[in-house]
Amino acid sequence: MSRNAPALPAAAVPAAAASCAAHKFGGSSLANASCFCRVAAILAAQPGPQQLVVVSAMRGTTDALIALADAAVRGDGGWKGAHAALRERHLAATRDLLGDDADATLAWLDHGFTDLANLLAALAVLGTPSREAAEAIQGLGEVWSARMLSDFLTREGHDCACLDARDVLVVGHGELGAVVDWETSSARYADWRARHPPPWLVVTGFVARTREGRATVLGRNGSDYSAAIFAALAGASELTLWGDTDGVLSADPRLVPDAVPLAALSYDEACELAYFGAKVIHPQTLTPVIARGLPVRIRNTFRPEHAGTAIGGPAEGDAPRPPVKGLSVVRDLAVLTLEGAGMIGVPGTAERAFGALHAASVSVVMISQGSSEHSICCVVREADSARAEAALRRAFVAELARGEIASVGVAAGISVLAAVGDGMAGQPGVAARLFGALARCGINIRAIAQGASERNISVAVDAADTARALRAAHAAFWLSPQTVSIGLVGPGKVGAALLAQLEAARARLLREHQLDLRVRAVATRGLLWLGEADGAAAWQDRASEGGDLDAFTRHVQAEHLPHALVVDCSASDAVAARYADWLAAGIHVVTPNKHAGAGPRERWQAIRAASARGARFRYEATVGAGLPVISTLRDLLDTGDELLAAEGIFSGTLAWLFNRYDGSVPFSALVHEAHALGYTEPDPRDDLSGTDVARKLVILAREAGVDLDLADVAVESLVPASLRAASVEEFMHRLSEFDAAIAARHARTRDAGRVLRYVARLDRDGRASVGLDELPADHAFAHLRLTDNIVQFSTRRYRDNPLVVQGPGAGPEVTAAGVFADVLRVAATLGARL
């Protein structure tokens, strides 16, 4: 849309027009009698003595009229019942609206419907559609609603006239749609107003006449265009388009429920959004208003207290402008590609290509060409794609035969996403933010275009990715919260604590950080709940039998949500085996489950390879619960340090047991107490066997680049061989059987002035061991508090004074907090403002 639209002739702007306000009411605003009353009340509340009101047909009327014409042409007589229903709807609304004063309007309407019936009968006889008849029929709804509103306003005491736009507005039809004959129209309007001076004027939208005097229409959404034309003809000070939304929204609310109304748009921003499918305003509407700098406001008939969106008007001055005001999409498109080495450096290739498309009446939505000139890519309507491909093949038939053009190809199923905003101009990083947001969702961009004005970046994506792409981009520019769809596997003690922490923090994160963490699925070995975030707290009440992780995955990776994340709080090796597939599918994974990091090396490598493609894998809680053990090691190594040795107490459970054990109570009693407090795994043997500690050591070793497997760790188990194969219940019942051995070991150590601690060690040569160690009473590991873990890193930088990470390392709340922290780290990489 050009800002250099032809200026209106001086005669089109009456000298006394400064106080005139122009309004347009759409079909939803005129759906029934109560809606007409609401419109009248809105107009009565407007300041100023002059009101110009352009109206659409009552909601659904234009579609009904088109259907009537089609039915009549078919000649089956089926139009008569629909005609009677449409007639009765208008008569009933008029009776409700005007009451005892309805007779004249009813008679006028009845005459109009009789004329319509005669015209339909003629079409039925002819059996062929007539453009003149079809357009005359399509515009009748506006004629009827204008008369109904005008008569009601007159009855309410307003000095009001009714103008049939066909008596004034003259248009021609060209490739760009209806073109106004401004000189003729302005002269006719001035003459009509001289004969009809009432300060209030109701005008039919959508309809006009050709230069030959034939009734015509301005096209669908033409009432907005009519409103802009008559606002210009009347010299209005402002045009308000009343509809059923609070203004222009930042995105399509059907795809982005969090879309917000925009307070203001420039003409250029409105043109870009209108072209790319924003439904609130039609692109042609802006041509007449831009020509004379007429401000436009989009408002809601059903919420007149809302200020709506101002388009044009005063400049925003020096106020900071967001880089992107809104996003829009066009669907049902196809990418058309012309490719070949013979195009490089050959003048006129693009001209021939687009000339061929023009000759085939194919509209081009978007164009993209690399500087190598090896290919030209454009986006066209999918319905036109076959015709477009055939046109290019005809135009380049010789070059295709000689191999100078390698191929002409079409890829259907495409949508174009456009990011629009004046603030994008000269602002570095806008494209990076858009492309990064799409990449983090695993969305591939098929083509890119950006104009020199820098106020629009357009990208072509697969149609299946439309909703996710729009939501991701909307959140990336902070127009809506960054939404993450979360699925939880293993809602045991840690998982339950995490659910509670997520629920407690959700409102705060949404309010303060625009981060929307939605737990939408919970799975156990035997139960599955699929829902939305508001039902997660009571998931067990709605769960179904069976832990179908395929259904779980499909629900978590919802098409309409940009990001998916699985939190695995189970201790299942089978669930860990799914990580690589989840990550490859673009689903982020956060876990305290050690089976991935300490499992088979091939699986670990597959997980790391999959996460390198974009999806995030976070597992800080696998080693130190809530302690930053892995991140500390990564910081050391990433900054060039070298790990010489790592040792520590990696089990909060075993730390608690040996910090508490002094021989005064049996060791088995302490194990029972730790189990009751939630410090142990569901099967305490996972802790007492040393396997859990060994897994943590393997994870640390692999993080440091050491190729270590669980079988390579020398492990001292505290579980007697006689109890290793028993059930959990039997094991807990027979715990006391190894009290004597632990007591004897403790007594010898105490007599030597030392203490017992369960220690893990990794040296620079990759040797690894875990087991009970007798440490001096003044050793750093000898004075830990309760469940404290401690990890000591000896590195090239920290050789003489090792770096120590210490803190609580057991308990559901602590571990859940560590997992929650990883969830927030993932969210931050997705663009959340944390």
Question: Are residues 337 and 236 located together in one domain of the fold?
Answer: no
Q: How far apart, in Å, are the Cα atoms of 620 and each of 609, 638, 811, 817?
A: 18, 16, 15, 11
Question: Are residues 430 and 373 located together in one domain of the fold?
Answer: yes
pLDDT of residue 10: 42
Query: Are 426 and 321 spatial neighbours (Cβ–Cβ below 8 Å)?
Result: no
**737: CATH:** 3.30.360.10
Domain assignment of residue 4, yes or no? no
Q: Is 696 a catalytic residue?
A: yes
In DSSP terms, 530 is beta-bridged to 521
Question: Are residues 586 and 619 located together in one domain of the fold?
Answer: yes
pLDDT of residue 2: 38
Give every residue of the chain whose pLDDT is below 70, as ranges: 1-18, 129, 176, 220, 275-280, 283, 313-321, 371-373, 452
Question: Are residues 455 and 496 located together in one domain of the fold?
Answer: no
CA distance 699 to 607: 13
Q: Around Cβ 355, how many Cβ atoms within 10 Å?
A: 13
**Cα 91 to chain center, whole Å?**
44
Question: Are residues 337 and 434 located together in one domain of the fold?
Answer: yes
Domain assignment of residue 253, yes or no? no
Question: Are residues 378 and 355 located together in one domain of the fold?
Answer: yes
Residue at 772: amino acid letter: L
Which string of DSSP letters, residue by residue, matches 314-341? S--TTS---S--EEEEEEEEEEEEEE-G
Domain assignment of residue 139, yes or no? yes
Where is the domain boundary, 244, 277, 298? 244
Buried b (16+ CB within 10 A) or exposed e, 383-417: ebbeebbebbeebbeebbeeebbbebebbeebbbb
Domain assignment of residue 294, yes or no? no
Where is the domain boundary, 244, 262, 291? 244
Question: Are residues 379 and 338 located together in one domain of the fold?
Answer: yes
Listed in order, strand segments (DSSP E) in 346-463 are 364-369, 375-381, 407-420, 445-450, 456-462
Query: Are 653 and 787 spatial neighbours (Cβ–Cβ below 8 Å)?
Result: yes
CA distance 8 to 189: 13
pLDDT of residue 9: 44
Structure tokens, 496: 């339950």
Query: Are 94 and 125 spatial neighbours (Cβ–Cβ below 8 Å)?
Result: no
**408: CATH:** 3.30.2130.10
**101: CATH:** 3.40.1160.10
Q: What is the DSSP letter of 374?
A: S
Question: Are residues 372 and 464 located together in one domain of the fold?
Answer: yes
In DSSP terms, 170 is beta-bridged to 209
pLDDT of residue 278: 59
CA distance 201 to 187: 17
pLDDT tens digits along 215-258: 999 986 788 999 999 999 999 999 999 998 888 888 888 888 88
CA distance 452 to 455: 8
pLDDT of residue 277: 56
Task: Return the H-helix or E-strand segment holding 749.
Answer: helix 739-751
Query: What is the total count of domains within the chain?
Result: 4
Question: Are residues 596 and 614 located together in one domain of the fold?
Answer: yes
Domain assignment of residue 318, yes or no? no
Domain assignment of residue 465, yes or no? yes
Question: Beta 177-180 vs 407-420: how paired, if at all?
Answer: unpaired
Question: Are residues 645 and 555 located together in one domain of the fold?
Answer: no
> What is the sign of the dihedral through the CA atoms of 774, 775, 777 and 780?
negative
Question: Are residues 615 and 678 located together in one domain of the fold?
Answer: no
Where is the domain boundary, 209, 244, 279? 244
CA distance 568 to 488: 6
Give this prediction's pTM.
Answer: 0.73
Going by C-alpha positions, the residue among 626, 761, 657 that lies closest to residue 706 is 761
Task: Determine the structural domain holding residue 644 and report its residue range.
Answer: 629-810
Active-site option among 325, 493, 594, 696: 696
Domain assignment of residue 260, yes or no? no
Question: Are residues 331 and 454 located together in one domain of the fold?
Answer: yes
Domain assignment of residue 45, yes or no? yes
Q: Which residue has the tokens 């190729």?
A: 707
Query: Are 687 and 758 spatial neighbours (Cβ–Cβ below 8 Å)?
Result: no
CA distance 591 to 575: 11
Question: Beta 326-339 vs 375-381: how paired, if at all?
Answer: antiparallel
